[in-house]
């Protein structure tokens, strides 16, 4: 039994951040070199495409207080190029190319049994119902996921399932005190001693998220040096 479609609608509902309508889409395969061929979950605004959402600030519905969102001075340090895969996924959803997962549940869960899920290829997975995340994880061969909403009361269900996304030693210490495993984005040349360097970012490494699995919310504290076009704008203290 195999999944017949490239993607499926997992859930539609209201963001716990601001009550605006959002949608989560699962795509079954990926050509992402860093992650490997993982299933990917994209969290999107329903009312506007990802490019427009960033321009208007509507991406707050799916990204919340993430400091890598576009700032008032125009700086945006998020490594995701929303004009590529997120925009393509949004357009495919608008065009009705993704059926709801409930119509193909057995085939999808069977397909997931041999692969890991990447929660939040775009968007913060903590905005999703815990039943959706934990339900699919129970079928999958593993998962990764990160949230910047780790201080929010409504996101505490994700402790032990998602990594607390941190941007400073202070963030890390606070998240650890709250019981989270952490994933820290450090400045390009920052020296980090409180966590393990992401194996996939080590020079000449062949490691991928699909074979590593450390970022499943419970195994280790990880850090990565900032990457992407705006990496030099990332500060760390």
pLDDT tens-digit series, residues 141-169: 999 999 999 999 999 999 999 999 998 88
Q: What is the per-residue pLDDT for 1? A: 52
- Asked if residues 35 and 118 have their Cβ atoms less than 8 Å apart, the reply is yes
Strand (E) or helix (H) holding 51: helix 50-56
pLDDT over 90, % of the chain: 76
Position 122 confidence tier, pLDDT thresholds 50, 70, 90? very high
Give the pLDDT mean for 45-64.
Answer: 97
The reported pLDDT for the residue numbered 194 is 86
Cα Rg, the chain, nearest whole Å? 17
pLDDT one-digit tens code per residue, 124-138: 999 999 999 999 999
Does the pLDDT at position 21 exceed 90? yes
pLDDT of residue 134: 96
């Amino acid at each position: 039994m195999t999944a017949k479609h490239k993607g499926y609608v997992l859930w539609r509902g209201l963001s716990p951040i601001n009550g605006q309508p959002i949608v989560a889409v699962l795509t079954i395969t990926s050509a992402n070199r860093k992650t490997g061929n993982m299933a990917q979950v994209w969290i999107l605004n329903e009312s506007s495409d990802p490019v427009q959402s960033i321009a208007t600030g509507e991406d707050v519905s799916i990204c919340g207080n993430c400091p890598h969102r576009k700032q008032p001075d125009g700086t945006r340090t998020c490594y995701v190029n929303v004009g590529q895969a997120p925009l393509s996924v949004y357009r495919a959803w608008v065009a009705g190319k993704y059926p709801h997962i409930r119509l193909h549940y057995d085939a999808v869960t069977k397909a997931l049994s041999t692969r890991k899920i990447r929660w939040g290829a775009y968007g913060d997975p903590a905005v999703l119902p815990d039943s959706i995340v934990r339900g699919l994880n129970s079928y999958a061969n593993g998962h990764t996921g990160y949230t910047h909403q780790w201080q929010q009361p409504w996101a505490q269900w994700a402790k032990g399932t998602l990594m607390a996304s941190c941007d400073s030693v202070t963030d890390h210490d606070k998240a650890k005190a709250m019981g989270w495993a952490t994933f820290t984005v450090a400045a390009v040349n920052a020296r980090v001693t409180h966590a393990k360097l992401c194996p996939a970012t080590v020079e000449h490494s062949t490691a991928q998220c699909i074979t590593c699995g450390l970022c499943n919310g419970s195994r280790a504290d990880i850090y990565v040096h900032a990457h992407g076009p705006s990496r030099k704008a990332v500060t760390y203290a």
